[in-house]
Amino acid sequence: MATTFSATAAAPIWSRGASLGAALVRFTEGWLAPPLFLAIRLWMAEIFFRSGLLKIRNLDGAIYLFSEVHPMPLLPPWLAAYLVTTIELVCPTLLVLGLAARLAALPMLAMALVIQFVVGSADPAFYLTEHYYWMFPARGDRHQRPGSPIRRSPARATPGRVPVGGQGRAGHRP
């Protein structure tokens, strides 16, 4: 009589962990990600839509905003006001309905970039050091904390130079 073993009992422990990890990823992608992405879409749509409603209620104020407070380069103030108001009302609606959501997100992304780097650069707070902290997670430098000095590994040090306060090659000073 031959003994049979199940595949999971004979498999090494690391392969069981891999299948558990794969099951967790499948669960996350199938059940957790869609509601999270919907919540993010609704949140972003609300922000842009409310801004568009404020501009359409007071179009003269929006034109003043684009002429005096935040002048847009290359666009006359009245055109910038109408264009931005249209984008802020139409694109979030498409985003919520899921109609051409990626295409609708592009003008909103372009607006966010213009607000951040064109309009924001005119603000003195734009040049504060705290403003640049958002770039650290984007760089992917997980070992470097904001504000800490940059450390070079000995392998990357410049050849022939002695580290400050340290010894030269083989313990001798140059």
b (16+ CB within 10 A) / e for 72-100? beeeebeebbbebbebbbebbebbbeeee
48, 106 in Cβ contact below 8 A?
no
Q: Using 50, 70 and 90 to split pLDDT, how confident is the model at 33?
A: confident
Mean pLDDT of 33-37: 88
Across the chain, mean pLDDT equals: 75
Q: pTM of the entire structure?
A: 0.58
Provide the token pair at 144: 């470097």
Query: What's the CA dihedral at 52, 58, 63, 65 to 10 degrees?
Result: -80
- Among 84, 87, 48, which residue's Cα sits nearest to residue 63? 84
Better-scored residue on pLDDT, 132 or 46 = 46
Burial class, 28, CB count within 10 angstroms (exposed 0-12 / middle 13-18 / buried 19+): exposed
* Model pLDDT for residues 11-31, shown as the tens digit of each residue: 555 566 668 888 888 888 888
CA 159 to chain CA centroid, nearest Å = 38
Provide the token pair at 164: 């400050």
94, 123 in Cβ contact below 8 A?
no
For residue 78, pLDDT beyond 70: yes
pLDDT at 140: 46
Q: Using 50, 70 and 90 to split pLDDT, how confident is the model at 89?
A: very high
94, 52 in Cβ contact below 8 A?
no
